Structure 1
Amino acid sequence: MVPGMLIRAMSSVACALFVLAACGTSTTGGAAPSTPPSASATTENKTSAENKAAAVQAAKADCMKGKGFKYIPYVPPEKKKTAMEVKLESGDYAAMKAHREKYGFGIFSEYIYPGEIGLSVATAEREKNPNSKITDSLSSAQHDQYNKADLACTAKAVKQVLDKDIDRPMDYYNQRASLRDTLVGQEINSDPELLRLANSMADCLKAKGYPVTNTKPSEVKDVGELQVTKELARLGRAQGEKDAKTFAKREGLAPFPMPRLTADQARPHLAQEVKHAMANLDCGKDFYAAYTPKMTDLTVRLDAEYVLF
């Protein structure tokens, strides 16, 4: 899972298009981490999710074969988390500080550190999928037929293995997003201690001149990040759709074209982003220590229910 970043800030619909990563887990940290979920429970959930994902892929391959198309069952091998990633997900302040000093929120750093964070990571993963070469070799007409079969077989496999009714893959991610919102409302935004810490963080941010319109734990963490994303959107729209790398979507913003920037062009923007990210972390030091482990645990359970395949 990629820490921080634009990916985390996007809606779940965008996550399906942009990565995603990685959706939903904040990897910002605080000074005194809460007790993380047990290693055995986390491992059990991940194993269950991997088995379900493999079963969906196998069922989809059988269906595609029946429709006359080759499809290779593929589940990306789990990438072992680095010590830094483990610390970030547990709410370690020192790790979060080091991460933000380099990447900020993980938005403009995509242009300066390709392959380390953001869309470039997702693109590299897509290229490892053997089915990408299959689809790239198809003619336009074949591609249309393949896509129709892919949609039908994905829906069939999801129903067969996960017992969830969908017409299109996006339906699945929308269901996942809906469950995530429910869990966040029940477990994060209703937690008295998190609410207290979020209000304290909001007061600190207001004192630094940041407009804070929502003090819910799931919202206050985004203060500063949204204005950085708005700057990214402004640059993308200024270049125009014709020159866009791809499209992105973030809650509160209409879909926008990602700008093409060189590393040198992106550096001044990243410098400003780092300032916002560090101010956010400074005000949220205690908040993130409590919030991050809870979100990590919630996301592991969400991944077990709505596996990423």
Structure 2
Amino acid sequence: MARSPLDLIPTMGRDLERLELRLEAAVQTQDPFLTEVAGHLIRAGGKRVRPGFVIAAAAIAHNRPGPANDDVLTGGVAVELVHLGSLYHDDVMDEAQVRRNVASVNAKWGNLRAILAGDFLLARASELAASLGTEVAGLLAATIGRLCEGQVRELQDTGNPNRTETSYTDSIEGKTASLLATSCRIGGLVAGLDRLMVDALTEFGRCYGLAFQVVDDILDIVATDEHLGKPSGNDLHEGVYTLPVIRALGSDCGPQLRDLLGGTVSDANIRSALQLVRTSGGVEEALDTARRYAQEASANLEKLPPTTTTAALGMATDHLIDRARIPLGDR
């Protein structure tokens, strides 16, 4: 697993190792086939950003935090299962063939099994959240609803070159930022932090999530397949016009880009469209927006105690922007 600034939290590495075991255990069933399908992307690895935020949020009040307790790990497993379940469903909708450098679940076992396995992951997440009390259970249930709302907003604008930034922002608020905000909130709640700290952590997670998605959308335009672990340019191919594309459509190259997007969806057209977006200034403008969200996230950290964990979350926010700068520098 790639190192991240959260590894500066003394027990984070060991806590995530314990979490991996809990993730594997959470998808064990009496049906070996369902166990295999449900655990497919767990075994493929991942950065575990969301459970990392649960663990970090719970440790925020301690300068030298000890190992995460069982409730914190349960919260981390719950949010990661929601994330994985959403990926199973997303890949069906996108007809994706690769996820995390392995075959997607739908490519390997078909859409029906992928949908059912995704449903199973969401159900297991809800069961785990219920064990943490009614507030956490209600919070996670509401977040799953927001994920769906965000995805529906995106689907409504699929193939629409007139998609607005407001529509885009509303979509990523639901499909990405809500789960990161919830991850931080669950960590704060199960650790018994005071409400002002819990609210600051929640807003940090929301702003971080917005920046995270904008950076992810930038990388889909500028990064290689190997860097992403999935095909680059997939959003354009699917007719999902993200912030760099929306900004490019409003630039001088907008008319040419509209012609390409309105034509036949071919590899050649997608390559040409990607090149136009890269040279339009839309990527740089989108990165400025990501920086603004990151600054808002950092401002919320200033409301928290100046602990090792707070510093690590700040570095994670800076690292997020650096992720987009590397491919930009290579162009």
TM-score over 0.5 (shorter chain)? no
**TM-score bin, normalised by smaller chain:** 0.3 to 0.5
Structure with bigger RCO (C-alpha 8 Å, 6+ apart): 1
- Normalising by structure 2, we get a TM-score of 0.32
Give the structure with the larger helix fraction.
2
